[in-house]
Chain A
């Protein structure tokens, strides 16, 4: 973590220094001749010098274009990867932890392995008291605690369909990415009073109700018991996330003879880091093992699905990838810029005589500096735009080809593109600075001395 922070800081400093230096040198050179930047004449003068060095110009162009291409392509791919992976997370809260009752895998207190564990309401009550927990809910599985197969027949007016039922506390909402579009989610009152309230996803409404009909207040029969709809939700995660019905855990326990059993306890811990969350999980596990007689070291009696840790790992990985990409890309680009600078330095050395002639004919040092810098900016600019469009095209191609589910919409956004272009201009000016200074210092007497 510290390492990445430092790396990012260093890069930022390098950028700021580079840009300041460039802006400073540009200002020094151009204040007098700013109008020349838009002069067509000056551009044709630049083009002439490029024309006289075609091969070298081409090689330089390729090196910078390649740098930008690599940078844009890797950045775009990184973004695609990030988006692809984030989509996998989008189904649930990124700071959620799910603790699911399973089977023991370690002999403990005289019991053999393979014993089914079931939580109950007292586990939930004790968990609520644990410090650091932000939102918490228990869940009762109507089919007896299995994680899958909770679909229940739901009926209304002769129509019937199976939807997944979640019997939960009011806070379960915070463990989802649902968005209420009508009415409300389950309340604490619904749970406390064991009300027959349900919150349904949009497909449920679409299945049972006509268009324009208000579902809130209407009744549905869920596994033989009538419930009243109090709210409708939607979810960006897709249709599967919406084909669900939420009801108070207490009502479900009563209606489907669940006694006080719970199959899962789920919670969020605010902005807590992975270490704090791990401590909470350990506390809860300790409480559970104490009450249900399994080893606190049994990794399987309670299955823990910890998004905080996974998301952290995921974010870390992408941070690493981003830093890597930026370092590689900037490195390649820097190599390109140094290449331009070198090649232009050679060009200036070769054109010493020409520069001497120009000076004898009345070229001021600043006009010479500007000529060289403009050529450098022109070169890197053209090359950069080539690389930029190449990178964008490559990303689009990969996006279209659908190489992997983990890559979603690779590519860079407009602001990154604009920033890259601006950066190119600065890089070009920076590349041209030293050759330009060398050119301005050409002594016409030495340059013009015969033979």
Chain B
């Protein structure tokens, strides 16, 4: 599915250079369900942005499928994001003046699909996240969990092969978090690769593998995880 090969990333702040990702090396196979963990500032979001082709890296190689992702034009990057990748954010990032249905349908707008067709498809995806009756509501009328479901439906509508979620449960209570992770697991079962950045061990426990970052380095990229206790040992 994707492979990182000695990827380095620097942030330049004035004359200062911050080495955020150091020789990051790992591979994720098709259909995996992976958690990325690490302390605050360890570079998780930076990593996810690179994986999502929202950001560029300074050295190394990032392969998405058979494609080397490096210095793509904005247009190309936009098309990859639109067709291959679905994003889920901590703060949902729904457009406030659009209804749930319109929010879900938005990625298809950038595929040039007609409004009627878009809305039809969006309705199916809303149904899938259990929010069919909320199609005409705006985000301000919804709970956090509902908003995240809408966001997940939006991430799925473009039929992506990869879902990238940056702390998708960070703004939710534990019960709602559990439901969202149920949904994520369900999505993963359909064959979509899912990467979740999280601080929450309970969330990580739902995945099949954890990649740990420390100061921009991968300290653990265990493959098939079977030792649950090791997980919980991590604060």
| Residues in chain A within 8 A of chain B (CB atoms) | 40-41, 44-45, 48-49, 51-52, 353-354, 356-367, 444-445, 448-451
> If A51-B97, A354-B95, A357-B95 touch, does A363 touch B78 (CB 8 Å cutoff)?
yes
Please, which residues of chain B bring their CB within 8 A of the CB of A451? 91
Please, which residues of chain A bring their CB within 8 A of the CB of B45? 449
Task: Contact check, B97 vs A52: say whether CB atoms are below 8 A apart.
Answer: yes
> If A353-B93, A357-B95, A367-B110 touch, does A362 touch B78 (CB 8 Å cutoff)?
yes
Task: Contact check, B87 vs A360: say whether CB atoms are below 8 A apart.
Answer: yes
Task: Contact check, B89 vs A450: say whether CB atoms are below 8 A apart.
Answer: yes
Task: Contact check, B115 vs A44: say whether CB atoms are below 8 A apart.
Answer: yes
| Residues in chain B within 8 A of chain A (CB atoms) | 45, 49, 52, 54-55, 74-75, 78-79, 81-83, 87, 89-91, 93-98, 102, 106-107, 109-111, 114-115, 154, 158
Please, which residues of chain B bring their CB within 8 A of the CB of A40? 115
Task: Contact check, B55 vs A361: say whether CB atoms are below 8 A apart.
Answer: no
Given contact pairs A366-B75, A449-B45, A450-B89, a sample of 16 additional A-B residue pairs in the complex whose CB atoms are under 8 Å apart: A41-B115, A49-B97, A51-B97, A359-B78, A360-B52, A360-B54, A361-B81, A362-B107, A362-B158, A363-B110, A364-B75, A444-B54, A445-B54, A448-B89, A450-B90, A450-B91
Please name the 4 residue pairs, one residue from A and one from B, whose CB atoms are nearest each other, closest first. A362-B82, A362-B110, A52-B97, A364-B78
**Considering residues B45, B55, B109, which has the most beta carbons from chain A within 10 angstroms of its beta carbon?**
B109
Give A101 Cβ to nearest chain B Cβ, in Å: 83
Give A72 Cβ to nearest chain B Cβ, in Å: 34
Task: Contact check, A361 vs B87: say whether CB atoms are below 8 A apart.
Answer: yes
Task: Contact check, B111 vs A445: say whether CB atoms are below 8 A apart.
Answer: no
Task: Contact check, A362 vs B83: say whether CB atoms are below 8 A apart.
Answer: yes
Please, which residues of chain A bring their CB within 8 A of the CB of B106? 358, 361
Please, which residues of chain A bring their CB within 8 A of the CB of B94? 357
Chain B, Cβ-Cβ closest to A451: B91
Q: How far is the CA of A364 from the CA of B74 in the complex (A)?
A: 7
Please, which residues of chain A bring their CB within 8 A of the CB of B102? 48
Please, which residues of chain A bring their CB within 8 A of the CB of B79? 362, 364
Please, which residues of chain A bring their CB within 8 A of the CB of B111? 362
Please, which residues of chain A bring their CB within 8 A of the CB of B49? 445
Give A367 Cβ to nearest chain B Cβ, in Å: 7
Q: How far is the CA of A357 from the CA of B79 in the complex (A)?
A: 14
Give B24 Cβ to nearest chain A Cβ, in Å: 17
Give A278 Cβ to nearest chain B Cβ, in Å: 70
Q: How far is the CA of A229 from the CA of B75 in the complex (A)?
A: 85
Q: How far is the CA of A51 from the CA of B96 in the complex (A)?
A: 12
Q: Can you list 27 residue pairs at the A/B interface with Cβ under 8 Å?
A: A41-B114, A41-B115, A44-B115, A52-B96, A52-B97, A354-B95, A356-B93, A357-B93, A357-B94, A357-B95, A359-B78, A360-B87, A361-B107, A361-B158, A362-B81, A362-B82, A362-B158, A364-B74, A364-B79, A364-B110, A365-B74, A365-B78, A366-B75, A367-B110, A448-B54, A448-B89, A450-B89
Chain B, Cβ-Cβ closest to A359: B78
Chain B, Cβ-Cβ closest to A49: B97
Q: How far is the CA of A40 from the CA of B54 in the complex (A)?
A: 30
Task: Contact check, A448 vs B83: say whether CB atoms are below 8 A apart.
Answer: no
Q: How far is the CA of A366 from the CA of B75 in the complex (A)?
A: 8
Give A106 Cβ to nearest chain B Cβ, in Å: 85
Q: How far is the CA of A52 from the CA of B107 in the complex (A)?
A: 20
Please, which residues of chain B bring their CB within 8 A of the CB of A353? 93
Task: Contact check, B89 vs A361: say whether CB atoms are below 8 A apart.
Answer: no
Please, which residues of chain B bring their CB within 8 A of the CB of A361? 81-82, 87, 106-107, 110, 154, 158
Give A53 Cβ to nearest chain B Cβ, in Å: 9
Task: Contact check, B109 vs A365: say whether CB atoms are below 8 A apart.
Answer: no
Q: How far is the CA of A362 from the CA of B81 in the complex (A)?
A: 5
Please, which residues of chain A bring their CB within 8 A of the CB of B154? 361
Task: Contact check, B107 vs A445: say whether CB atoms are below 8 A apart.
Answer: no
Give A34 Cβ to nearest chain B Cβ, in Å: 13
Chain A, Cβ-Cβ closest to B76: A364
Task: Contact check, B114 vs A48: say whether CB atoms are below 8 A apart.
Answer: no
Please, which residues of chain B bring their CB within 8 A of the CB of A363? 78, 110
Please, which residues of chain A bring their CB within 8 A of the CB of B109? 41, 45
Q: How far is the CA of A44 from the CA of B54 in the complex (A)?
A: 27
Please, which residues of chain B bring their CB within 8 A of the CB of A360? 52, 54, 81, 87, 93
The answer, among B75, B83, B93, for a CB contact under 8 Å with A365, is: B75
**Considering residues A51, A353, A357, which has the most beta carbons from chain B within 10 angstroms of its beta carbon?**
A357
Give B29 Cβ to nearest chain A Cβ, in Å: 25
